[in-house]
């Protein structure tokens, strides 16, 4: 049982996951950000691997990717920053990124190194399910890394159930067909999309992301899933922070 599975076994609701782009606002900020998030009661952190064309992301996270790349962040530098992180950080850590940089790094090496530094799961939106099952699933299992799939309002029940059958951690429920950072009417989604997913009786817990930005949207998401992921709002909040620790504490207090 890895840290993600342990989290969902011990805590069934109101799970707060925060997304941060590695190398943003400054190249070496990530360890300090992880410590502050853990200290303030965040349950899990999604670490974005900067990419030049993050197609699922809106302007805020696209901008953070651009800045992180300009700061010099790479996958290798990210792994170097994380190599001793488990001496202080015990909450689950998930890498989020796109397939091209992982392939350039060497996918087997990418998974091996991720496991070595204590990563629990990976979200790769543009990794097709067929390729995962036929090319990479064995490597994920051997390295103890969970592959986390996304579902959207357009995902058919059949595909959702197929994703559920090959998942062992949680399913990322994208609240809309739009990009990150969009204003979403979660209540409208609740009556159709979220209820449809509930009726499928999935074996895996669910986390809602995209459009979660404050206490109200977090609480509404948690009524429809085991928890929620906040990304763009957090990234924007820390952009000009003069004191990261205090800024993060302020943000999390506003959510919880």
Tell whether 209 is covered by a domain.
yes
The pLDDT tens digits for 61-103 are: 889 999 999 999 999 999 999 999 999 999 999 999 999 999 9
**Residue keyed to tokens 């350039």:** 104
Instruction: State the alpha helices, DSSP H only, in 54-176.
Output: 59-71, 75-82, 99-105, 107-117, 129-131, 137-143, 157-165
The pLDDT tens digits for 144-192 are: 999 999 999 999 999 999 999 999 999 999 987 654 445 556 666 666 8
Burial class (CB in 10 A: 0-12, 13-18, 19+), 23: buried
Query: What pLDDT sits at residue 55?
Result: 59
Tell whether 188 is covered by a domain.
yes
pTM metric for this prediction: 0.93
For the question of residue 46 being annotated catalytic, the response is yes
Q: Give the DSSP H/E element, type plus range, for residue 188.
A: helix 186-189
For the question of residue 214 being annotated catalytic, the response is no
CATH number where 167 lies:
3.20.20.70
How is residue 150 written in tokens? 């996304």
Candidates 43, 46, 113, 146; catalytic one: 46
Tell whether 140 is covered by a domain.
yes
Tell whether 6 is covered by a domain.
no
Averaged pLDDT, 40-47: 98
Q: Tell me the β-bridge partners of 172.
A: 150, 207
* Number of structural domains found in the chain: 1
Query: What pLDDT sits at residue 4?
Result: 97
Cis peptide before 140 (omega within 30 of 0): no
Query: What pLDDT sits at residue 185?
Result: 60
Residue 54 has pLDDT above 80, yes or no: no
Query: What pLDDT sits at residue 179?
Result: 47
Averaged pLDDT, 108-128: 97
Compute the chain's Rg from CA coordinates.
17
Tell whether 79 is covered by a domain.
yes
How is residue 34 written in tokens? 């992880």
**In the chain, % of residues over pLDDT 70:** 93
The pLDDT tens digits for 237-248 are: 999 889 999 999
CA-based end-to-end distance of the chain: 27
Tell whether 9 is covered by a domain.
no
Candidates 57, 113, 146, 164; catalytic one: 57
Sign of the Cα pseudo-torsion (8, 79, 213, 128, in order): negative
Query: What pLDDT sits at residue 59?
Result: 84
Q: What domain range is 209 assigned to?
A: 15-255
Tell whether 5 is covered by a domain.
no
**In the chain, % of residues over pLDDT 90:** 86
Contacts 24+ apart (CB under 8 A), 214-220: 214/254, 214/255, 215/254, 215/255, 215/256, 217/184, 217/186, 218/16, 218/255, 220/186, 220/187, 220/190
Tell whether 217 is covered by a domain.
yes
Query: What pLDDT sits at residue 181?
Result: 45
């Amino acid at each position: 049982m890895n840290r993600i599975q342990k989290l969902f076994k011990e805590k069934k609701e109101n799970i707060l996951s925060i997304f941060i782009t590695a190398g943003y606002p400054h190249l070496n900020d990530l360890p300090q950000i992880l410590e502050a998030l853990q200290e303030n009661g965040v349950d899990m952190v999604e670490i974005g691997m900067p990419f030049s064309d993050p197609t699922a992301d809106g302007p805020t996270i696209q901008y953070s990717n651009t800045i992180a790349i300009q700061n010099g962040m790479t996958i290798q530098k990210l792994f170097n920053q994380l190599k001793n992180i488990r001496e202080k950080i015990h909450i689950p850590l998930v890498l989020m990124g796109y397939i091209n940089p992982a392939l350039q790094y060497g996918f087997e090496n990418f998974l091996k190194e991720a496991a070595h530094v204590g990563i629990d799961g990976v979200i790769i939106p543009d990794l097709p399910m067929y390729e995962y099952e036929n090319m990479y699933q064995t490597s994920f299992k051997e390295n103890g890394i969970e592959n986390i799939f996304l579902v959207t309002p357009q995902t058919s029940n059949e595909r959702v159930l197929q994703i559920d059958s090959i998942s062992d951690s949680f399913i990322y429920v994208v609240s809309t067909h739009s990009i990150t950072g969009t204003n979403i009417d979660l209540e409208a989604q609740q009556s159709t999309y979220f209820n449809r997913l509930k009726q499928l009786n999935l074996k895996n817990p669910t986390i809602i992301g995209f459009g979660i930005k404050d206490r109200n949207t977090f609480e509404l998401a948690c009524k429809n899933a085991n928890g929620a992921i906040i990304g763009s709002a957090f990234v924007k909040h820390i952009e000009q922070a003069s004191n990261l620790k205090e800024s993060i504490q302020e943000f999390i207090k506003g959510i919880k």
